Chains A and B, each alone.
Chain A
Amino acid sequence: MSKGSFLSASIGRKFLMSITGLFLVTFIIVHLTLNLFLIFDDSGDLFNLAAHFMATNPLIKIMEPVLAIGFGVHILWSIIITVQNMRARPVGYNKTSQSVNSTWASRNMFILGGLIFVFLGIHLYAFWWKMKFAGDPLLTHTTVMQGGVPVEMENAYNLVATMFKQSLFYSITHILGGVLLGLHITHGFWSAFQTIGLNNHLWRKRLFVLANIIGWIFAIGFSIIPLYFMIKF
């Protein structure tokens, strides 16, 4: 197989977008599930256990660079695809009525993705950077019972909960991030299956509905966490 020609062909590029996109979706599902522990256990033990597991499990350690590569390829190829597609119409229309024939999200995937990228920067700085490298006064140590044994770990719950309680900026950016991601997925999820060729006239309706459900779950799931801390405390 001539890889060069495949990756520079229009369908090949899109194939890469869809594979990395679906990989990112599976990551987001895991990420959201663990994050929801934040609002189901006010003692923070459940979330701290999950965060501790993620920080120490060797498999997760291997997945971290893979995830970074997934993001990198997805973003890089999205730029290549978008530039290529814009170049295909050197002279634009004076008047267009695109809203009658396509969804807003489907037409603005690059804008949505770009904003998600900005959010990602803020998000990584706020939590990942502090937990992994810089440290933070809010990251006190705590002892949690794990299978009957007391284990000492960083109180990640304290960092996240305090940030959302005290900083309107972080709360609002995280709510927006969730909504943008949800919108991205309402189109991205079914589009990915179409791109891989796993679609037909029957499945497209199902996948479209499923994409909207997953999109809404992401949007509500992520934004409910900062909202919970803003309202409850």
Chain B
Amino acid sequence: MADITLKKIYVKVWRQNSAKEKGRFETYEVENISQGSSFLEMLDILNDKLIREGKDPIAFDHDCREGICGMCSLYINGRAHGPDRDITTCQLHMRKFNEGETITIEPWRAGAFPVIKDLIVDRTAFEKIQQAGGFVSVNTGGIPDGNAIPIGYDDAEEAMDAASCIGCGACVATCKNSSAMLFVAAKVSQLAKLPQGKVEAKRRARNMVTKMDELGFGGCTNTGACELECPKGISISHIARLNREYLVAKLAE
């Protein structure tokens, strides 16, 4: 079946020249968009038009365009990564939108993610949290033989689930408190469930949470919105684990 073509849609985008300058919304008309095209392709087409008209194209982040790098962002019609579950913006299709619709696109909003230009925000804060402890630094020896270190099925699965976090920041963007707890919980859990990571689990939780607070992210109030908007469906059960690791680490101090 041929894809339906949207004859005309309106795209209301946040435009901001630099971190210092004030931003504003601009609305553009986009014509003849196939519902089979991806959301980012629609933006490419719009940008092509803007360039032909001698205007400044809209700056937005993207890289792999297959849902694995975490680079694409965008708060579309009031939701991180737009109106669909378990996807990144690059996996969003125009069939989710209707003829004549006005689509509102905003950058991730959080004090810890300042706008660089238009829809691009600076997510270096996530790197800083990772650098505070999201790694294994104890000597774990050479590559072990297969199955030499037995790991239970459930533990392996949970660690792998947590490891699927791509660091996109949708959790922060969605959270009413701009909390980075889901991201930090994923990064703590992917290691805490495995023997190589257990050694430093407590120190890791403490240092990463301290860094998270320092960078100005808000606190978690367990609304659960992050889990539903996370493209990888990371569970907030990992947040319970992070709380546990952190509280135990603090009690042991």
Contact = CB atoms under 8 A, between A and B. Distances in A.
Interface of A: 1-2, 5-6, 9-15, 81, 84-85, 87-98, 100-103, 106-107, 109, 187, 190-191, 193-201, 204
A97 B79 contact: yes
B92 interface: no
11 contacts: A1-B250, A1-B253, A9-B210, A9-B250, A11-B219, A84-B219, A88-B111, A88-B179, A88-B217, A107-B176, A200-B237
B223 interface: yes
A2 B253 contact: yes
Given A10-B218, A88-B178, A106-B223, 8 more contacts: A11-B242, A81-B219, A89-B109, A97-B77, A101-B223, A106-B222, A195-B243, A198-B240
Interface string B9-47: 000001000000000010000000000000000000000
Interface stretch (B62-70, B131-139, B195-203, B228-236): B228-236
Contact of B177 (A6, A85, A91): A85
- Size bin of chain B's contact surface: 35 or more
A190 B221 CA distance: 11
Interface in B206-253: 209-210, 212-213, 216-225, 228-229, 235-237, 239-247, 250-251, 253
B111 A90 contact: yes
Output the residue of B75, B219, B229 with the most chain A CB within 10 A. B219
Contacts of A109: 221
B118 interface: no
B174 interface: yes
A102 B240 contact: no
B160 to A, nearest CB: 14
B247 A10 contact: no
A5 B229 CA distance: 31
B229 A101 contact: yes
Contact of A1 (B111, B241, B251): B251
Given A1-B251, A88-B111, A100-B79, A204 B228 contact: no
Output the residue of B77, B110, B176, B210 with the most chain A CB within 10 A. B176
Contacts of B222: 106, 187, 190-191, 194-195
A13 B110 CA distance: 21
B228 A9 contact: no
B25 A94 contact: yes
B100 interface: no
